[in-house]
Amino acid sequence: MNPTARTNHYEGPCAVCGATVPAETGVVLPGSHGGWEVYHPEHAREPGPPPRGTHPGWHHRRLMSLDIAATGPRTGVDRILAVALRVSDGPDRDWLIDPGPGLALDPRTTHGITLDRARADGLPPERVLDETADAVAAHLATRELLVVWHAPYVLTFVESELLRHGLRPLAERCPAGLFPLCDPLVVDRHVDRYRGGGRSLRKVTAWYGVPHENPGDPGSDAQAALVLAEVLGACHPSLGRLSRAALHHEQTLWRERQASDAEAYHPDRKQDHRWPLATVEALPWEPPPGG
């Protein structure tokens, strides 16, 4: 039996067959569009996302997705090793970066890119970062959504690396700044606030049935995030029907509430409330903890 189900205390029509379910004989589950629905026990659905609708919205428009792989998680200290861009109606773009000597990988990295490979096959960071920033800026200039899973991590990394190499910041290349964006992590936490099971990209794509063949690889992650954004818009009509500007604005509010909720639940864990960009800084290299 679905662990979220509970016995119905009142009779009502079955959400599947329409026949009356007498009180205390069926189950009640959260409805696909809010509220609760009653089912005959044999018709009760297993846990899963709402069905995908056919309503129009931003999820049918042109989307670009950005992801990176780095030597570790410290946005001001670690260095980007790879960049991937995916477009819903265009070719894939992938870059490998030569980060230079004197670095080490954080032992917790999962992307599988070794420093030897990056140094042997990678391009100069200035070239890759400049091309990436130009491609992203050109897309945002069209006012179409840029999809970035965990945007404060990825975008802060990119801006910090641009600063490190004396290149124009991404925010300055975009007429309207870093806008409009879609962060599927923030969106999913908003539309399904109480779902358990973790919120890694791997787990969220599995929940929504989105293919994700090689978690950790920036190309695979970028493609998975792009499709996930489309599916989120299709599964949640009130979300999909938002304008692109409204979606961007709402995410700043959702992220603020999510950070506040997390701090209330874990007072000892400080949350960064900023979205979509955290502190941009280019700090000297330091070995990773445990490295």
Pick the more confident residue, 119 or 171. Answer: 119
Residue 175 C-alpha from the chain's centroid:
24
Q: What is the pLDDT of residues 114-137, one digit of tens each?
A: 999 999 999 999 999 999 999 999
pLDDT of 162 strictly over 60? yes
Nearest-angstrom CA–CA distance, 244 and 181: 8
Nearest-angstrom CA–CA distance, 39 and 240: 27
What pLDDT is attached to residue 67? 98
Nearest-angstrom CA–CA distance, 255 and 152: 11
Residue 14 CB partners (closer than 8 Å, separation 6+): 20, 21, 26, 38, 39, 40, 43
What pLDDT is attached to residue 120? 97
Q: Which of 240, 61, 255 has its CA nearest to residue 155?
A: 255
Nearest-angstrom CA–CA distance, 42 and 189: 30
Cis peptide bond N-terminal to 211, omega within 30: no
What pLDDT is attached to residue 152? 98
pLDDT of 283 strictly over 90? yes
Q: What is the pLDDT of residues 188-201, one digit of tens each?
A: 999 998 887 899 99
pTM for the full predicted model: 0.86
E-assigned strands of the chain? 6-7, 12-13, 20-21, 27-30, 36-39, 64-70, 80-87, 93-96, 146-147, 181-182
Nearest-angstrom CA–CA distance, 92 and 173: 22
Q: Which of 147, 132, 154 has its CA nearest to residue 180?
A: 147
Strand partners, 93: 85
C-alpha distances out from residue 239 to 149, 162, 176, 224, 230, Å? 17, 33, 22, 19, 11
C-alpha distances out from residue 69 to 8, 219, 283, Å? 49, 9, 18
Pick the more confident residue, 267 or 249. Answer: 249
Half-sphere exposure of 287 (CA within 13 A, CB side): 3
Cis peptide bond N-terminal to 49, omega within 30: no
> pLDDT class for 258, splitting at 50, 70, 90?
very high
Residue 205 CB partners (closer than 8 Å, separation 6+): 211, 212, 224, 227, 228
What pLDDT is attached to residue 175? 86
What pLDDT is attached to residue 290? 75
User: What percentage of the chain's residues is helix, strand, coil (to nearest 5)?
Assistant: 35, 15, 50
96 and 82 Cβ atoms separated by less than 8 Å: yes
What pLDDT is attached to residue 33? 53
Q: What is the pLDDT of residues 214-238, one digit of tens each?
A: 999 999 999 999 999 999 999 999 9
pLDDT of 32 strictly over 70? no
